[in-house]
Amino acid sequence: MPTTRLKVPQTAERLSLGIATLLVVSIGLLAYKAWADFDRRNEQVEITQEIIGGTNALLSSLKDAETGQRGFLLTGEERYLEPYRHAVTEVPALLDKLAVLMASRRPEQAARLERMRPLIRGKLDELGDTIRVQRTQGSAAALAIVRTDRGQADMDQIRAICAEIQGVANTRLTRYSQQARHSSKRLGLISSAGSAAILILLLAATAVIRGGTRQREELIAQATQSRDWLHTTLNSIGDAVIATDANGNVSLLNGVAESLTGWTQTEAAGKPLEQVFVIRNASTGMEAENPVSRVLREGRIVGLANHTRLIARDGRRIPIEDSAAPIRDGGRVSGVVLVFRDVSERLKAEERVRLAVEAAPSAMILVGREGRIELVNSQTEELFGYRREDLLSQTVEMLVPERYRAGHGALRASFLREPRARPMGAGRDLFGLRKDGREVPIEIGLNPIRTSQGDFVLIAVVDISERKRAEERLRTANEELRRSNDDLAQFAFAASHDLQEPLRMITVYSQLLLRRYGGRFDGEAANYIDFITDGTKRMRDLLSDLLAYTQLTGGTQEALTPVDLNDVFRITLENCKAAIEETRAVVTSDALPSVLGHQPHFVQLLQNLVSNGLKYRGDRSPRIHISAASQDGLWRVAVKDNGIGIAPEYHKQIFGVFKRLHGKDIPGTGIGLAICQRVVNRYGGQIWVESEVHQGATFYFTLPPAS
Ligand code: ADP
């Protein structure tokens, strides 16, 4: 099951967020600094302007005081002293204000101011003195003081110092204004650049976020797909599956689990497993231990105890088999998956097996992996002479004769490694050991069997004592038959061979008799002599055919060689030349194959068939044709003639020794086809005929190919 971990790639997003924050903070700081700079410059501009203004006010106040004093001195009218009085109170205040403005960061201006203070004080004193003198001594005395120009000199110095202060202030003012402009420009620049950077960042962040969103969507789609896949897979499993969380509460039920328990996924979700998956021990009926709590306790895969029944919601009792395994998330057990299946069918099948074993006609033994006997039928009791209880739980070796026991365990293990149904001990005689110590010849079939309780081997044991005895009897009979056959062949050979000599004597002497005394014989006697000659000729033919036949008996030690049947055909034509010419026969052949064997045998075979075709001809001159075709891996040769044919009922018997159909008119011994059959059989082939009376005959024989 492929698991998709939902891992959203957030690094890019986090990075861009970090950069954006950094940028915004930097822009803020820079802007603040520029603004503070600008503010400071502005403040300084204001202060400087105030200094200039203050100085101007000081001068004009002094000037006003002087103008008032002049008016008073000239007119003696008190009202002209108003500006003077005002200046007397205003000038110290202005001086203090200027002193405050210059106190910080303008020490040289403050020094100038201090320099001006005594002069201003002197000026004001001079004004005060003249006013006082005017009042007391008259205007002439006052004007005399004025004419001393003491006040004028003070005033000039005051003006000069004020000009100095204002000059410095003006220079500063220009510088401060420039700096303030510069700061405001920088502020503007920082704001625009910052805004542009933020915009770019915003665009980049949008792209990253969009990418992230797309990826997230893809991951969600994947997750949905894998959830669907998991769902489909779980529902496609033939087994029931229930998953629980770490508390043992049901989180999932597949279709099979739903139908077995009777609960639906929706109903069961979140319920404790014991409520949904109710199990009982089949034999005791007691509640069986919940496998999930065991898995959660032990943290490993557990199989359910044998013979468990699931009690479905509707009360059905279903025999089940199951296992439960922990679901691990990292190292932690995050739940349990329980897999179970309905084994009713299998239990029924096992019961059927038990009944079948009992009903089997031969002994059946069910053996477990360890070689212990689990089940036997009554035939086993009968065959081995034990009672069932004596056999159950014992090792099967107790039924094996002592001398085979050592190797038996290894043989059993090798069978279990590659278990497949097969007979045991191929090519070896097997014996079983009975309780009474007797050994029984047996035949054993092994069948591997898979059951809910594990792998077993079902052994079928057949007592073959009777068959062994029958085989023995057959072997002895065969032996005797072979011996008597050999004797017979030897006798036939000796007889046919030894009879040749006296036969030749009869022939020679009967001819001698005819030659010497022929003139004295009457007609009848001459006829008798002819009979004798015919008889001996026939006898000679018979003996030589019999000899040929007996020589074909038994196997040959010589190695088989490829024989070209075209050569065989040529030799046959040569041998039958006289008969062919005499009967004006046409004997033809297709191209023939090569076969395995000995050439003289095949010449004998073909020559017999061709000469029969010539002999058993009809009214027409004989036509014989030989052809070959392949059949079942052999060559099938056909010898077809246009002769008198053979009625179907004789098709088999003509191959027997001395079996003849056509009387004495046509010469023959009745051994030719028997020889043919022997030759063909000797090489593993068959011979047969297809024919109808007057329809000609086709003889077929099969022989192994040369390659
Ligand atoms: P023989 O020819 O010496 O009698 P065979 O064993 O060769 O002995 O043949 C057995 C009998 O089968 C023959 O006597 C004949 O009646 C019959 N026979 C064999 N070949 C043919 C044939 N080509 N056509 C008709 N009959 C045949």
Which residue in 257, 256, 291 sits closest to 274, CA to CA? 291
**What are phi and psi for residue 597, nearest 5 degrees?**
155, -150
* Longest CA–CA separation in the chain, Å: 242
pLDDT of residue 80: 87
> Based on C-alpha coordinates, what's the Rg of the chain?
70
C-alpha dist (Å) from residue 598 to 547, 578, 641, 682: 18, 25, 25, 11
Residue closest via CA to ligand 1's atom 23 equals 613
Q: Residues near 4 by Cβ (< 8 Å), separated by ≥ 6?
A: 219, 222, 223, 226
pLDDT of residue 604: 93
Lowest mean pLDDT among 14-23, 417-426, 657-666, 697-706: 417-426
Local confidence band at 450 (pLDDT 50, 70, 90 cut-offs): confident
| Alpha-helix residue ranges (DSSP H) falling in 642-686 | 672-682
Q: What percent of the chain has pLDDT over 90?
A: 32
Local confidence band at 595 (pLDDT 50, 70, 90 cut-offs): very high
Q: Is the pLDDT of residue 513 over 50?
A: yes
The predicted model scores a pTM of 0.41
Q: Residue 607 C-alpha to ligand 1 middle, in angstroms?
A: 13
End-to-end CA distance of the chain: 59
Residue 699 CA: nearest ligand 1 atom is 23
Question: Pocket of ligand 1, candidates 626, 660, 666: which has the most ligand atoms within 8 Å of its Cβ, to mutate?
Answer: 660
d(CA 547, CA 675): 10
Q: Residue 660 C-alpha to ligand 1 middle, in angstroms?
A: 6
Q: Residue 687 C-alpha to ligand 1 middle, in angstroms?
A: 14
Which residue ranges have their beta carbon within 6 Å of ligand 1?
Answer: 608, 612-613, 616, 641, 643-646, 654, 659-662, 668-674, 697
DSSP 273-290: HHHHSEEEETTT-PBPPP
Local confidence band at 65 (pLDDT 50, 70, 90 cut-offs): confident
| Cα 217 to the center of its chain, rounded Å | 30
List beta partners, residue 325: 337
Query: Cβ of 234: how many Cβ atoms within 10 Å?
Result: 21
| Pairing of β 373-376 and β 308-311 | unpaired
Residue 659 CA: nearest ligand 1 atom is 10
d(CA 226, CA 208): 26
3-state SS of 361-391?
Answer: CCEEEEEECCCEEEEECHHHHHHHCCCHHHH
pLDDT of residue 3: 41
Lowest mean pLDDT among 3-7, 48-52, 315-319: 3-7
Q: Is the pLDDT of residue 238 over 70?
A: yes
Q: Residue 647 C-alpha to ligand 1 middle, in angstroms?
A: 12
C-alpha dist (Å) from residue 250 to 280, 314, 335: 19, 19, 9
Query: Are 322 and 349 contacting, i.e. CB atoms less than 8 angstroms apart?
Result: no
Record the tokens describing residue 540, joined without a space.
């000679």
Which residue in 659, 616, 661, 662 sits closest to 639, CA to CA? 616
Instruction: Read off the pLDDT of each residue in 93-105 and give the average, rounded to a whole number.
Output: 85
Local confidence band at 314 (pLDDT 50, 70, 90 cut-offs): very high
pLDDT digits (tens, 9 = 90+) for 469-498: 999 999 999 999 988 888 877 777 777 777
- Mean residue pLDDT across the chain: 86
d(CA 561, CA 242): 75
3-state SS of 7-52?
Answer: CCCCHHHHHHHHHHHHHHHHHHHHHHHHHHHHHHHHHHHHHHHHHH
Query: Cβ of 52: how many Cβ atoms within 10 Å?
Result: 19
DSSP 557-609: -SPPEEEEHHHHHHHHHHHTHHHHHHHT-EEEE----EEEE-HHHHHHHHHHH
Residue 662 CA: nearest ligand 1 atom is 16
Q: Residue 638 C-alpha to ligand 1 middle, in angstroms?
A: 16
Sign of CA dihedral 355, 357, 358, 361: positive
d(CA 210, CA 261): 47
pLDDT digits (tens, 9 = 90+) for 570-583: 999 999 999 999 99
Residue 545 CA: nearest ligand 1 atom is 3
Under DSSP, is residue 258 helix (H, G, I), strand (E, B) or coil? helix
Q: Residue 643 C-alpha to ligand 1 middle, in angstroms?
A: 11
Query: Cβ of 625: how many Cβ atoms within 10 Å?
Result: 16
Query: Are 602 and 563 contacting, i.e. CB atoms less than 8 angstroms apart?
Result: yes
